[in-house]
Every structure is written in C-alpha cells, then in structure tokens.
Amino acid sequence: MSEMWINMGPQHPMTHGLWNLRVKIDGEMILDVDPEMGYLHRGIEKISEDRHYNEVITLMDRCCYVAGFAWEHLYILSAEEALHLRPPERAEYLRVLCDEFQRIGSHLMWYAAFVQDLGLMSPFLYGMRDRDLVLDLFQSYTGARMTYEYMRVGGVRNDLPPGFSDQARKVLDWLDARFPEYDQLCLGSTIFRERCDNLGLLKASDCVAHGVTGPMLRSAGMKRDLRKDRPYAAYDRLDFEVAVADGADVTARYLVRMEEMRQSVRILRQVLDWLDHHPGPVLADRLPRWLGAPYAPIGNEGYLLKRNYPKGVGFSAVEEPHGEAQAYVVNDGGEHPYRVKFRSPVFANISAARQYLVGYHVADIPPIMGSVDVCVGEVDR
C-alpha cells in the first residue's frame, strides 16, 4: 500500500471546532499526525494589551465558549494578584458556584458531542437537555447563557436572585438521578465499549512529558487536580474527591468526566448551603474608581483617570473542565495590562496527538479525539 496524507478538517464532524488534523495513513493505519491550528485565532492576548483590566473579561468568555466561567476566573485571579486586590469571601464562593456548574455544563456538552460521534443519538439529546438546565441557571443571575461577563476584578458583578438556591438544588437533584442513566446508555452499550475500550492509550509518564493535563491525565491513574493540589477561591474549604481512573483509554476518560460531574454536584450542595447562611458584599470595597463600578463603562477613556498604581505581576492556575489552565498578567502601572499570557490545557493535549493516535485505525480517530474534549476557542485564543 502507498502512504498518503489526508486532511480531517477544517470542516469535519470529528473536529468539533475549526481545526485540521492532517493524518498520514497507510491503508487504514495511522502512521503520523500533524494538527494544524490557528483557524480561530483572534489575538486575544494582543487585544488584552489594549484594554482595561475589566474589559478583558469580555474576551475570556470567548476564549472557551463552553467554559467561559473557568476562563473568567483564571484571568481574574491573576489580575487581582497583579493589582494587589482581594475579593470578599462570598465572591469566592460565588466563583466556585460558577466554576462547578460550568464544569457540569462543559462535561455534558462533551458527553453529548462525544457519543454522537460514536453514532449514539439518544444520549446526545439527553446531554443537551440537561445542559440547558444549567444554562437556565446561568441566565437567571448573569443574564447570559454563554458569554457571562459576571466576574469582576475584586469580586463578582451581582449577587444571586431570590429563590436561586431552591432552583439550583432542584437541578442538582435532577442531574444526580440522570448520571446512572448516562452510564447505562454508554457503558451498557456494546457499540460504545467496542469503540472505546483500549483506544488512545496514553500512559501517565507520557502525559507528564507532553504536558497533558485534566481528565486525560487523571484517566491514567494520576491523582492531580489543582483544586486540591493548589487550592484557589474557596476550594480548600470544600469537601470533595479527585476523580481518577486507571485505564488510560477512551473509556477511562469517560469515567473520569462522569465522576467529576458527581463531585461537582457534591461541591455545589456545600456551596449553596454556605451561600444561604452567609450574606455579604460580593465586590471588594475601596476598589480604585476605575474598577469599582459594578458596570464598568466600556471604551470610555475619559472616565479612567491616569493613576499611579503599584506595579505587579500575577500568576494563576485553575482546573478548567479540560485541564490545567494558567494565566500570567504583567501590570507595569499603566491602565492596560502590559502582557497577558494564557496557557490552554487543550493546546497541550492536542500537541501530544502523535502519542495517542499513531498505530490506531482511521475509524478510531473520532472516539479518540472526542475523548480529548477539544475546544478550539481556547487553543487558538
């Protein structure tokens, strides 16, 4: 047989976003792969250098369109460090609330898209149905379903509306009862097992060498989660377990994500209890005037006074639904960040594609790449 390169993408059902996987094949065997990224590059890091600190939040929602809150949180943490600010405790819990609901929403989106790649249509519908409940909750307190602009440097924009925690508990109870159904639909399906078991193997040592993090790393038996290892916001005050599996294959990644959703439900119950009993401010007082307004004017240069703000740098890392995201913000005392750098977990996970694709068949690419949970928005930024 002769070898040849084929393009899977930029428009291909497997890609879930705009990118191109170049695959070198010999018959059905994969000999080499070369992911081509950049179709969705919007220059978010560059645009951030031209914006005020609170205006960058708008871009963060668009960084990863299924996990906007996680990226807002990431940026906010390092911006606060660079600007020497501390949020009130209630804001920290509200951020965890956002993060964990977002994790459920993101994993459900992944679940729906992934099983559809395998040809299972009903789980797709169930996944999207349940994700909508989470989006409804987001809409009730941020006004948006995907691009929230909710977190602020120094806190969050507004508190929860009355009756939110009852509604949220109902959603959690509903989700809790759905997880066994998901498992039954997938793990009980012969098609699912035959297309996922022992595919896309990536050992823990290879994960570490190639920078792979998140559910992919934990599916290889490595218990690493920044929420535990390097707690941020209120995670050190919450009780939960790190989801791990030891198969290192596609099925193991499924198991890890399912367990993470269960743990998120567990975290959210504690967070809702805390929020019910601890009213308080959600935005730090004594913020500089240009950060203090809950609805900061956008693009209004005249409002922002030149100031002598202390210089600083901020580095933060959060456990995003896809893995470990990092942000580095340099504040040189000006009105805009001097440099903003983001580390996207999916960027690193895709860069290791050669490690988990070579040696399998062409038909294995959709389940394997599906198990990576690609979000091109945050890879290209």
334 binds other proteins (CB under 8 A): no
237 binds other proteins (CB under 8 A): no
Spatial contact of 267 and 100, defined as CB atoms under 8 Å apart: yes
380 binds other proteins (CB under 8 A): yes
Report the residue from 45, 55, 176, 335 that binds other proteins according to the rule CB under 8 A: 45
Per CB under 8 A, the segment of 62-70, 124-132, 206-214, 302-310 that binds other proteins is 206-214
Q: What is the 3-state secondary structure (H, E, C) of 268-322?
A: HHHHHHHHHHCCCCCECCCCCHHHHCCCCCCCCHHHCCCCCCCCEEEEEEEEECC
Give the whole-angstrom CA distance, residue 80 versus residue 152. 9
Report the residue from 336, 341, 358, 362 that binds other proteins according to the rule CB under 8 A: 341
Q: Which of residues 98-127 bind other proteins (CB under 8 A)?
A: none
Complex with other proteins: residue 47 or 144, whichever CB lies closer: 47
Minimum Å gap between C-beta 339 and other proteins is 5
Per CB under 8 A, the segment of 3-11, 97-105, 113-121, 339-347 that binds other proteins is 339-347
Report the residue from 60, 275, 283, 352 that binds other proteins according to the rule CB under 8 A: 352
Give the whole-angstrom CA distance, residue 362 versus residue 349. 19
Spatial contact of 218 and 225, defined as CB atoms under 8 Å apart: yes
Q: Which residues contact 195 (CB under 8 A, 6 or more apart)?
A: 118, 250, 364, 367
x/- mask, other proteins, residues 303-322, rule CB under 8 A, reads ----------xxxxx-----
209 binds other proteins (CB under 8 A): yes
Binding residues for other proteins, rule CB under 8 A, total 37
b/e sequence 134-159, b meaning 16+ C-beta within 10 Å: bbebbeebbeeeebbbbbbbbbbbbb
Q: Which of residues 50-69 bind other proteins (CB under 8 A)?
A: 50
Pull the structure tokens for residue 220: 């290889």
Q: What is the 3-state secondary structure (H, E, C) of 61-82?
A: HHHCCCCHHHHHHHHHHHHHHH
Complex with other proteins: residue 104 or 372, whichever CB lies closer: 372
Report the residue from 24, 210, 237, 311 that binds other proteins according to the rule CB under 8 A: 210
Complex with other proteins: residue 52 or 157, whichever CB lies closer: 52
Residue type, position 352, single letter: A
Per CB under 8 A, the segment of 60-68, 129-137, 205-213, 283-291 that binds other proteins is 205-213
Give the whole-angstrom CA distance, residue 234 versus residue 89. 8
- Residue 272 CA, chain-centre distance (Å), reads 21
Q: How far apart are the first and last CA of the chain?
A: 39
Q: By the criterion CB under 8 A, which residues form the site for other proteins? A: 37-38, 41, 43, 45-47, 50, 81, 208-211, 213, 222, 224, 229-230, 313-317, 324, 326, 328, 330, 338-339, 341, 343, 347-348, 351-352, 380-381
